[in-house]
Amino acid sequence: MAVVSIHSAPPHAIAWLRARPIVGLEMLALLASLFFTLCCNFEFWHNLTTDLHAHWRLLASLFVLVTALQAFLLGLVLTRWTAKPLLALLFVATAFAAYYMSTYKVYLDPDMIRNVLNTDPREAGELVVPGLVAPLLGLAVLPLLALWRIRVRKRGWQRALGLRLAFLAAMLLLGLVAEMASFKDLSALVRNQREVRYLVTPANYVVSLSGAARQPSRPCERADPDRRGCEAATARRRHQATPAGIRARRNSARAGLGAGWLCAPDHPATRGDA
């Protein structure tokens, strides 16, 4: 019987497995942003193409704009010491966010994040379901493995600072060019479909989390002069973040009420009263 040795494996295959590419922080930020835009924003692109029927020029501009802005924000916070821990956290959190947005048709706006933070952990446990396995494998585990193999390039502080400033300026310029290319359509989208911005992941939950932290609760007087009406509306919003409320919203969308998550908070498709 012939004995198969590991040395008989193709040399290029062994070299590929052992390879640990060296990547600059700016390239890492751009690659991570591209990954988020392409792989973690299905609901954003689905909403634009299916529900809003956006044309190709607007889609192309939004692709460049979202990627550039995310890369810019990552460029502000990634360092040799923070890059891997921060990106690992974003990969895992974004995988959860993408799954729940796609499955339960929810916006990750400040109200939703605030309600999630106030949800009973025992109720939240009902949302950990087998359907999470595939998104976590594709959107978290695989990127984490790739991130683990990457080595961050070391540079002197002067060269690193110059490259970082040039990268940030380039991302801002790229985003500005993308915005100007479809300024009229982008303006109409922002003006008429303001809630769409809460589908851009991971920016949606990061911005909403900061908003929820600044304002842990919404005063009833600001939401509704009638306190009883405000309390009822607040109770509905809190119910939307519970497993029962999220399931009701998903079932309403499946029953033919359309994209229930595009409705106003008091629309029957989003109340979860049924």
Number of structural domains in the chain: 2
Q: Are 47 and 124 within one domain?
A: yes
Q: Are 272 and 180 within one domain?
A: no
Per-residue tens of pLDDT for the chain, all 274 residues: 444 454 555 666 566 667 789 999 999 999 999 999 999 999 999 999 998 889 999 999 999 999 999 999 999 999 999 999 999 999 999 999 999 898 888 889 888 888 888 777 776 677 777 888 998 999 999 999 999 999 999 999 999 999 999 999 999 999 999 999 999 999 999 899 888 999 999 999 999 998 887 776 655 544 454 555 555 555 555 555 555 555 555 554 444 433 344 333 433 334 333 3
Q: Are 226 and 93 within one domain?
A: no
pTM of the model: 0.76
Q: Are 43 and 64 within one domain?
A: yes
What pLDDT is attached to residue 254? 43
Beta carbons within 8 Å of 243's beta carbon, 6+ residues apart:
123, 124, 126, 127
User: Quick check: is 10 in a domain?
Assistant: no
User: In terms of DSSP H, where are the helices of the chain?
Assistant: 11-18, 25-39, 42-46, 56-77, 83-104, 110-117, 121-124, 133-136, 142-149, 157-181, 183-192, 203-214, 220-223, 227-240, 243-252, 268-271
User: Quick check: is 185 in a domain?
Assistant: yes
Q: Are 48 and 165 within one domain?
A: yes
User: Quick check: is 194 in a domain?
Assistant: yes
Q: Are 57 and 158 within one domain?
A: yes
- 221 to each of 182, 216, 226, 229, 234, how far by Cα in Å? 39, 15, 8, 10, 12
What pLDDT is attached to residue 240? 54
What pLDDT is attached to residue 260? 42
User: Quick check: is 75 in a domain?
Assistant: yes
User: Of 182, 205, 228, which one is at a domain's C-terminal end?
Assistant: 205
User: Quick check: is 1 in a domain?
Assistant: no
Task: State which residues form the domain around 58.
Answer: 22-205
User: Quick check: is 6 in a domain?
Assistant: no
Q: Are 130 and 227 within one domain?
A: no
What pLDDT is attached to residue 117? 80
